[in-house]
Chain A
């Protein structure tokens, strides 16, 4: 048997797909696929560094998609979960998928398929939540700015939603945890990495960065939120189930509660 190898890639989705291509192409016995700098190479396996190649990545992408559209979204979403060991999990899933007859990936009674689809579903849920819970604040430079801090790396997934919705205003959504953002400049969306020296929670202290009337609207929204509930029907458990506490610090309607 061929000795097993650990593939090291740059952490991007294209990099991962390139690794899959190389593994298939060179019939490598894959021990693991790891992000550059994670440094947990197996003791008994060689490592090989994979250089991201968009053409190779595309071929894998198209190959999977021609098998199943559903699988390709599941794979992409699950990848963004950043779960430890996700690469090897996905690699095995792709192997199974490629070997299987059409429609196989829909077999929800297969534990493997289930795991991937569960991960994808969690990421999908957070994507959806971010589309709901982004709160823009208008800066003096006329940019609508929002911080988010999602569990999964969902920025790539929400870009289209916001581009379609806010076509006539400049906006920037910044992922505090991963230190990068997406910026729309009225023409298109680009990825920007920047280090903010201040993180704008919705604390009550005002920041000079934002437009004067910004705080008026936050207050109006906060007030509005308070007047929406019906006292005799309060159900806090249900409330926090829908709006998990970890999101609160960026929600303007939750200012006092944080």
Chain B
């Protein structure tokens, strides 16, 4: 290998790929076969963390940062003046294998600018994955970016080798897309999503009959939306995400606070703060919808088009619905326990276990790990009552903020779950 050249390419093509926030390597089990290399257990491993605190689990690179398109929000856009580079197929294979053997990574995340045309680009991405699987007997994780506009045949093949496929929607509204990515059509994104969704379903059905049917994109598909680039509300973003979760059975939607990288009158100026807290609130909302049984219009609706910045969305919901509280932790069902601010799913399960044996009081709840500074306003248990019944939402919010300002100010990352 020509070390200096590879090094230069890696610098350019890793740098250009870092704005894609998807980094998960979980959700796919691919057992090591025939004494090959790698084993995916379904639990992702973060092998390191970036200096901004995000998990590093995959070698995340672009195949090339040449691009024929000119999307306003993208560093790789045609009109941007940056150094360009392109990996050869074999170079990506070698890097992946050698990083994996040293236990640096769980696998590969391969994306690309569009060179020549979508089909040609997609063909190359697929070739990398095929080589890894068939020539190197590699069982680690592979995430391929679907190139909008590639053919169904290639999308089909991609799913045979990759664990996950994604196509980034980037701009959550169609009008925003027209403005910021004039070369792309909405259908270019949704067509590959539909194909992948249908193939996953078809393979799953066939597996029920013929057990040896291989898995197709076993970790499913995901997409990403940029937050704060085109003036959309949190409601726009979350409703759009909900649409993709439902319609295309997305495994994950990622939210990426827009990092201004280019001077463009259509976009926030370079130097504008990255909306990290807002991004964090969106992830929290996403969790509430997926794991806590909330319906989207309970959290965001015309009366509340944006999430509150100073408190998390569950607390915000609870304060708007004080008539449902206090909840008796010794009696309430799982569904309602999950809705108490300061109580995470882990705690819910522990409460359900522990209360079989005895009635729980504040002490028990504290040991179980409830964030009592929030939960205490919404709960009754087997202790003398905390007399909070006469407090209104404003007062409760004020008291909670008083006891937790430091915490709220500091924890800006999406990887810390603020409510637990």
Q: Count how many chain A residues have C-beta atoms less than 8 Å from C-beta atoms of the other chain.
A: 53
Contact A108 B38, beta carbon cutoff 8 Å = no
How many residues of chain B have a CB within 8 Å of chain A? Answer: 60
Binary flags per residue of B1-14, CB closer than 8 Å to A gives 1, else 0: 10100110011001
**B354–A109 touching, CB < 8 Å:** yes
Q: Does A228 contact B (CB under 8 A)?
A: yes
Interface flags for B95-126 (1: CB within 8 Å of A; 0: not) read: 10011011110000000000000000000000
For B35, list chain A residues within 8 Å (CB).
167-168, 186
A217 to B95, CA, bound (A): 8
Stretch at the interface among A14-22, A44-52, A233-241: A233-241
The chain A residue with its CB closest to the CB of B365 is A109
What 18 additional pairs, Cβ within 8 angstroms, besides A238-B49, A253-B104? A107-B357, A108-B354, A109-B363, A136-B103, A137-B102, A138-B101, A144-B102, A164-B32, A167-B35, A167-B36, A217-B98, A217-B102, A223-B11, A225-B50, A228-B50, A229-B18, A233-B259, A243-B49
Is A230 a contact partner of B19 (Cβ separation < 8 A)? yes
Interface residues of B in 336-369 (CB under 8 A from A): 350, 353-354, 356-358, 360, 363-364, 367-368
Q: A132-B47, A164-B32 are in contact. Are A234 and B52 (CB under 8 A)?
A: yes
Q: How far is the CA of A219 from the CA of B50 in the complex (A)?
A: 16
Chain A nearest CB, measured from B276 CB (Å): 7
Q: CA A203 – CA B384 in complex, angstroms? A: 60
**B47 contact set on A, CB distance < 8 A:** 132-133
Q: Does B69 contact A (CB under 8 A)?
A: no
B37, A235: Cβ atoms under 8 Å?
no
**Contact between B102 and A233 (Cβ–Cβ < 8 Å)?**
no
Q: Can you list, as one digit per residue, whether each of B385-420 has a CB less than 8 Å from chain A (1) or not (0)?
A: 000000000000000000000000010110110000
A229 with B102: in contact, given A108-B354, A109-B360, A132-B46 (CB under 8 Å)? no
A-B contacts, 10 listed (Cβ < 8 Å): A135-B102, A144-B102, A168-B137, A169-B37, A186-B35, A227-B15, A233-B276, A237-B410, A242-B46, A243-B48
Interfacial chain A residues near B273, Cβ < 8 Å: 232
> Is the beta-carbon distance between B51 and A164 smaller than 8 angstroms?
no
Interface pair B18/A168, CB less than 8 Å apart: no
Query: Closest CB-CB distance, B155 to chain A, in whole Å?
Result: 28
Q: Which residues of B contact A235 (CB under 8 A)?
A: 51-53, 412-413
Q: Once the chains bind, are B412 and A221 in contact (CB under 8 Å)? A: no
* A233 partner, pick from B36, B49, B274, beta carbons under 8 A: B274
Q: How far is the CB of A127 from chain B (nearest CB, A)?
A: 12
Q: Which residues of B contact A205 (CB under 8 A)?
A: none
Asked if A220 and B102 make an inter-chain contact with CB atoms under 8 angstroms apart, the answer reads no
Q: Are A233 and B52 in contact (CB under 8 A)?
A: yes
Q: Does B45 contact A (CB under 8 A)?
A: yes
Instruction: Tell me if B60 is interfacial: C-beta within 8 Å of chain A.
Output: yes
- Is B132 positioned at the interface, with any CB of A under 8 Å from its CB? no
For window 77-107 of chain A, which residues contact chain B by CB distance below 8 Å? 103-104, 106-107
The answer for the CA separation of A236 and B410 in the assembled complex, in Å, is 12
Mark contacts of A186-219 with chain B using CB atoms, 8 A cut-off: 1 yes-contact digit, 0 otherwise. Answer: 1000000000000000000000000001001101
Query: With an 8 A cutoff between CB atoms, is B56 at the interface?
Result: yes
B276–A219 contact, CB under 8 A? no
Identify which of residues 161-189 in chain A touch chain B, using a CB-to-CB cut-off of 8 Å: 164-169, 186
Nearest-Cβ distance from residue B3 to partner chain A, whole angstroms:
5
Quick one: given A228-B18, A234-B52, A239-B53, are A221 and B104 in contact (CB under 8 Å)?
yes
Chain B residues near A24: list those with CB within 8 A: none
Considering the complex, which residues of chain B in the window 53-76 have a beta carbon less than 8 Å from any beta carbon of chain A? Answer: 53-56, 59-60
Q: Which of B18, B32, B413 contacts A230 (CB 8 A)?
A: B18
A135 near B53 with CB under 8 A, answer no
A237 CA to B56 CA, complexed, in Å: 16
Most buried by A among B1, B53, B364: B53
When each residue 267-306 of chain B gets 1 if its CB lies under 8 Å from chain A and 0 otherwise, what string results?
Answer: 0000001101000000000000000000000000000000
Chain A residues positioned under 8 Å from B416 (CB to CB) = 238
Q: In the complex, which residues of chain B have a beta carbon less than 8 angstroms from the beta carbon of A131? A: 45
- Interface digits, A115-142 against B, CB 8 Å rule (1 contact, 0 not)? 0000000000000100111111110000
User: Which chain B residues border A217 with CB–CB below 8 Å?
Assistant: 98-99, 102
CB closest chain-A residue, reference B356 = A103
Q: Are B37 and A132 in contact (CB under 8 A)?
A: no
For residue A57, CB closer than 8 A to chain B, the reply is no
**Residues of chain B within 8 A of A134, CB atoms compared:** 103
Whether A238 contacts B413 by the Cβ 8 Å rule is yes
Is A251 an interface residue when CB atoms closer than 8 A count as contact?
yes
The docked-state distance in angstroms from the alpha carbon of A186 to that of B98 is: 18
Assess whether B39 is interfacial by the CB under 8 Å rule. yes
Distance A117 CA – B99 CA, assembled complex (angstroms): 35
Interface pairs A-B: 10 shortest CB-CB: A238-B53, A233-B52, A242-B49, A229-B50, A229-B51, A109-B364, A164-B39, A167-B35, A227-B14, A165-B39
Q: Which residues of B contact A33 (CB under 8 A)?
A: none
- Return B337 CB to nearest CB of chain A, in Å: 15
